Amino acid sequence: MRILLTGASGQLGHAVRRVFSRHEVVARAHTALDVADVSGVEAALDETRPDLLLNAAAYTAVDRAEDEPEAAYRANREGPRALAVATARRGIPLLHVSTDYVFDGEKGTPYVESDATHPLGVYGTSKLAGEDEVRRANSRHFIVRTAWLYGPVGRNFALTLAAVAAREPKLRVVDDQWGSPTYAPHLAAALERLVESEAWGTHHLVNAGVTSRCEFARALLRALGSATPLEPIPTSAWPTRARRPRNTALASERDTGIALRDWREGVRDFAAAFSGGTVLPV
């Protein structure tokens, strides 16, 4: 297949370019294609004639979104709408990536695909609106919800933690937020298998297992060989502009046979790929 990849310079876009090996990936970074630009999207599809479009583009600044909802909705709702309409018109399937933040985190057990959504902030609400646009416009869609994404390239919790641990004597990390840390290259490998199927609809794809932010941080530091001590703190001691859901562990009720390995294996692979504290630009 020829796959048109949007948002190609983000951390997931980067992983897709590195990991996909069985298909031709035609990459379009934000600078080359704005997914909310309808005529730009149409032109890119006509020029590249892909068999599938994979949308890794998104506005992902969870706190900033509270102050600039127009920008969040532009990338997260208008973008997916433009992509879904244009691909449907050409008979092309669309894989769109979404987030655990469509849930409020109050369920108490892992969320499956059919659970009711209830986002807490602008980011999650705009991402849910994007899902709805995709469902409405293109029946041959995959909507993949993932969570706590990190990898050796980009802006993410793991790279920030590594950088801060290298310069601070002690770290404070919240211990009452739970979720499914997901290593971007593992997700990319699962996406390559998914696009080879016709399992249309919504999928939860995360590394297996559940952990807290603090436990995740502890595992990362251990794998990176850092001795910087960690102090677990409650969310109330780390106020943020956007409210974070308490527990968004994800599980799947789909029977595709596509499952990611345990989150600790993601941490191990991250440590092996880590390039010594350099936060690489995306």
Ligand X SMILES: NC(=O)c1ccc[n+]([C@@H]2O[C@H](COP(=O)([O-])OP(=O)(O)OC[C@H]3O[C@@H](n4cnc5c(N)ncnc54)[C@H](OP(=O)(O)O)[C@@H]3O)[C@@H](O)[C@H]2O)c1
Give the residues lining the site for ligand X (CB under 6 A): 6-7, 9-12, 30, 33-36, 56-60, 75, 79, 97, 99-100, 127, 146-149, 154-155, 282
Minimum distance from CB of 100 to ligand X (Å)? 6
Pairing of strands 230-233, 52-55: unpaired
Minimum distance from CB of 187 to ligand X (Å)? 8
Nearer to ligand X, 15 or 137 (CB): 15
- Positions marked catalytic: 123
Minimum distance from CB of 19 to ligand X (Å)? 13
Nearer to ligand X, 229 or 278 (CB): 278
Strand partners, 143: 96, 202
Nearer to ligand X, 40 or 232 (CB): 40
Minimum distance from CB of 62 to ligand X (Å)? 9
Nearer to ligand X, 58 or 170 (CB): 58
Cβ atoms of 12 and 20 within 8 Å: the answer is: no
Cβ-in-10-Å burial (0-12, 13-18, 19+) of 131 comes to buried
User: In the bound complex, which residue of the shown chain has the CB atom lying closest to ligand X?
Assistant: 10
Nearer to ligand X, 205 or 271 (CB): 205
Minimum distance from CB of 203 to ligand X (Å)? 13
User: Which long-range contacts (C-beta less than 8 Å, at least 24 apart) are formed by 235-238?
Assistant: 235/174, 235/176, 235/177, 237/172, 237/174, 238/172, 238/174
Residue from 277, 269, 272 nearest 168 by CA: 277
Angular region, 243: left φ>0, alpha ψ -120 to 50, beta rest:
beta
